Structure 1
Amino acid sequence: MVKKIHVITGVALVSGLTMSGCATGGGPVKDGPKIAQSPSAKLSGEIKVWSWDVAAKALQRMAPAFEKANPGVKVEVVDIGYDNAYDKITVGLKSGSGLPDVITLEDTQIPGYTENFPGGLVDLTSVASKYKADFDPAKWAASSSAKGLFALPWDSAPVGLFYRRDYFKQAGIDPESIVTWDDAVKAGEKIKQATGKRLFVSDLTRPDGFTMLLQQLGQGYFKDGKVAVNSPEAVRALTLLKTLKDKDLIQNEKGWDGRVTATKQGKAATQPTAAWWSGTLTGEMAELSGKFGVIPLPAFDANGSRTSVNGGSALSITSQTKNQDLSWAFVEWLLANKENQVSMMRTEALFPAYLPALADPLFDEPQPYFGGQQINRLFADQVKDIPPVELTGDDTQAQEFLKKAVSASLLNGADPKAELDGAAKRIATATKRPLAQ
């Protein structure tokens, strides 16, 4: 099942670059190599791939089939563990040695590595651009920069609203009546009055929920390279969260374990999160089978986006590879392939970013845990509509300033616009980026 790493790093933005002291780089200063695979080249040799958790399990399971189709080829998959993964990758990029041929990167990490280590990853544009229309647009944007495409998208993480059927029934609310966040706020008030339960669980010391809502509105922390954390969209996102908090509709819990425990104890009626949450529910809360359903994320406006993103990863080829042809052949075979993507969804619950895979009948199968609802079809239909946003190498640093702004507004009642204005100025000073107008 998809584990908590996707939550912790999806919108939380791990701090590998910051922790390793690489805010200004230290690696090569030239642009990275561009892949130049020959279509007729016979594959041979060995490659090594780094990954972790269920992604590593998927790679280990799939690699033998690739080897069988290409006699004499060897793919070694190493589970390097999540906790130190980015420290190891950063050290390898900084020193120019020690990295494998292929590495797993979460979407939020790609811009930091391409900006801080411009010679570290192979530009895949020449061989991968033909697939652009076949991938989740938001993930393709996350893997790209003005200089090229530095990863091929793997798993996507479309967001919906998981809800407790029993609580909604007790409060007399039809879940399909919730179209906008205004509807959700009103429903939350009715549910709390009828059941005593809050609307959803969140860690209010982190900006994760704010980031998810900001992406729903089609924006990241930066816009056209400028600091935009105090834009009208950003103020609207934080104001929504403050409204929910002021109405006592958010169950404040610390971190991943707090969210899981609170959900298991039935403290909240909904959870706005990604498709992988279904794996957490089925894997850790089997006793709640039949109690959950899923609807699209409420929109800010009646015709607005009804999804966002929380997580997702991709595969990159490092410039240290001695076998570009084999590295690309494996990445292409694994990710730009309907059958392989469906296989990883069925076995490891890795939701495909490859759009052709989403037409597979697997996504139409009723899910008994969710009362027979076809939740995977709901999420599959949303993938192409995830709003792409601008990601940068300064996102991790910006998030540190946003932690204070978000918690000040949600926990201390501070004005959202004033807090975001202050955060924007501090981020601009720290990153030397101008403020968006």
Structure 2
Amino acid sequence: MIIFPFGKAPAVILVAALLAGGWLLLHPRGKEDANLVLWSFAKTHITAYNQALPALNHAYPDVKLSVKQIHFEALNRRLLSSFWSDLPSQPDLVEIEISCVGTYFKGPKEQIGFEDLKPRLVESGMYNRIVRNRLATWSNRGGIYGIPNDVHPVMLAYRRDIADSLGICVDSLYTWDRFIEAGRRFTVEGERYMIELNEQNVGSLECFLFQRGGGYFDSLGNVIFDNPVAVATMEWFVPLVTGKGRIGADLGSGQNAAVLFYKALEEGYYLFFICPDWRSSFIQEYSPRLAGKMALMPMPAFYPGGRRTSTQGGTMMAITKACKDKDKAWKTALFLYTNPEGRSRSFKKTNIIPPFRDAWTEPVFHEPNAFWSGQKLGEMYIGLADSIPPQYSNPFVVLAKGKLSQALVSCTQYYSVNGSSGFRDHIRKALTASADEVRKYQKRGLIE
């Protein structure tokens, strides 16, 4: 009997490795039959694109597309590394999320790793078909570096059944003043809050900042989150989430935050919450017991007649400069984003409306949604799409979000102790200090 000197467990592992290696030698993996490679981080997108492959191959027999799902962070690390090192292992097409796209615009314009698609968009007529403010997100120094996948207008979702039982008439909540007044009547501290709002993460705050026409940067790349609009927004927001009279609360952003949110929603802890189109599908999927009890309404305006939406999230599809057949990549990208069958299938799965105005007449966007109390969800989001505010990308947007978050924490802490006394001055100082930090980094890493 042969005894393996290192014990049974290593012997089993060795045998398994030898068997696996032998199988691979006898069954070599064939060379991938693809002339275009697409990377995406989004599982729902990957599924949709794989479902569209037969139709794509029928429309364009010369296209052999390989679709690869890559983890969000890994995708951006690998792609940036390949751009900076000019490595050959780059995809032809790639989807980039809105919070990361600014990173790709750092440095001289000619070193941006994506093809400028503005000439193709204009020549094809696509430029005038797309919601104009959505193109701003994917633009930099005169170029447009991606086709938008979405618009992501924001509404407020609410527990219709509870609102009805409390006598809340949502049609009367057309300004934030009226909404807050109602919120202070119906909020019960520790038991029920008018709206889900986060007092430390800027996700809630920035939604209102965009709605008011503010942001992190302007179209020229200047830092603006310490301007009068930002000061006024912070002064308005903080009392909603801290101190006496608060109407908003949040259960945190940890690992179980999503589970806690859905449970809280089902138990009536929140009456309203910020709901871009993509989030509405999550509610359907993870809170099925609320079917027929939910509804949507436009965001209240900051003044009568003002903007009643904002925007949150987003994705673009880009063509890399390394792509050897950009014409083929262009027609593939357009097919994946504009073919009616795929668009209809995607909307039924995600509730995401497309950025192409001519698509909005398709019947699927005008069907009642039973989960949302029979409302025509697509039609409602489409009605707000052209009103979304612009959101400008920048290489320093991640830093800016972090610095605004620091200012928010400082302001909530100050207000919880001091109330409104000296609050505006504190806001100005906190925002200016945070914004100046970003300006300092901008000067160190100038965009030529």
Structural mapping, 1:12-411, within 5 Å: 46-52=35-41, 53-97=43-87, 98-116=89-107, 118-129=111-122, 130-193=125-188, 196-223=191-218, 224-245=220-241, 246=243, 247-255=245-253, 256-257=257-258, 258-411=260-413
Corresponding letter in the other structure for 1:302: P
Q: Which amino acid aligns with 2:156?
A: L
Name stretches of at least 5 consecutive residues in structure 2 with no aligned partner: 1-32, 416-422
Q: Give the Cα separation in 2 of the matches to 1:407 and 1:264.
A: 29
Distance 1:207 1:93 in 2: 30
Deviations 1:332-376 (A, max 9, x none): 222244554333212444321122112212121111111111122
- Whether contact under 8 Å (2:205, 2:237) holds in the other structure is yes
Name the CA distance, whole Å, in 2 between partners of 1:200 and 1:416: 23
Q: Is the 8 A contact 1:171 1:195 kept in 2?
A: no
Secondary structure of 1:371 counterpart: coil
Q: CA deviation at 1:408?
A: 1.7
* Worse-matched range after superposition: 66-75 or 281-290: 66-75
Q: Give how far 1:69 is off.
A: 1.6
Mean Cα deviation higher: 397-406 or 62-71: 62-71
Q: Structure 1 residue 315: deviation in Å?
A: 0.2
Going from structure 1 to structure 2, the CA distance change for 1:273 and 1:412 (only over 3 Å counts) comes to farther
CA distance in 1, matches of 2:286, 2:410: 33
TM-score normalised over the length of structure 2: 0.82
Q: Does 1:419 align with 2:430?
A: yes
Q: CA RMSD in A?
A: 2.2
Residue 427 to residue 45, structure 1, CA distance change in 2 (3 Å): closer
What is the total number of aligned residue pairs between the two structures? 390
Aligned to 2:12: none
Secondary structure at the residue paired with 2:311? coil
Deviation at 1:305, TM superposition (A): 0.6
Instruction: Flag the 1:331–1:237 CA change in 2: closer, same or farther, 3 A.
Output: same
The residue identity in structure 1 corresponding to 2:157 is F
Tell me: CA distance 1:211–1:205, structure 2 relative to 1, closer, same or farther (3 Å). same
* Counterpart residue type for residue 416 of structure 1: I
Decide which moves more: 359-368 or 107-116: 107-116
What is the rounded CA distance, in whole Å, between the counterparts of 2:340 and 2:360 in structure 1?
8
What are the Cα deviations for residues 188-238 of structure 1, in whole angstroms up to 9, with x where unaligned?
A: 112215994112223322111111111111222122322211112112222
Report if aligned partners of 1:244, 1:250 keep a CA contact under 8 Å in 2.
Answer: yes
Letter in 2 for 1:421: T
Instruction: Summarize the Cα distance change of 1:350–1:389 in structure 2 as closer, same or farther, 3 Å threshold.
Output: closer
Which is greater in Rg? Answer: 2
Q: CA deviation at 1:288?
A: 1.2
How far apart are residue 274 of structure 1 and its match?
Answer: 0.4
Give the Cα–Cα distance (whole angstroms) in 2 for the partners of residues 233 and 296 of structure 1: 21
Report the alpha carbon displacement of residue 83 of structure 1 after superposing the two structures with TM.
4.2
Aligned sequence identity (%): 24
Secondary structure in 2 matching 1:276: helix
Distance 1:333 1:156 in 2: 18
| Counterparts in 2 of 1:209 and 1:77: CA distance versus 1, 3 Å | same
Separation in 2, partners of 1:72, 1:432: 47
Q: Deviations over 1:271-318 (max 9, x none)?
A: 012011211111000011122110001111111110011111110001
Q: Would the aligned equivalents of 2:106 and 2:395 in 1 still touch at CA under 8 Å?
A: yes
Higher mean Cα deviation, 339-348 or 203-212? 339-348
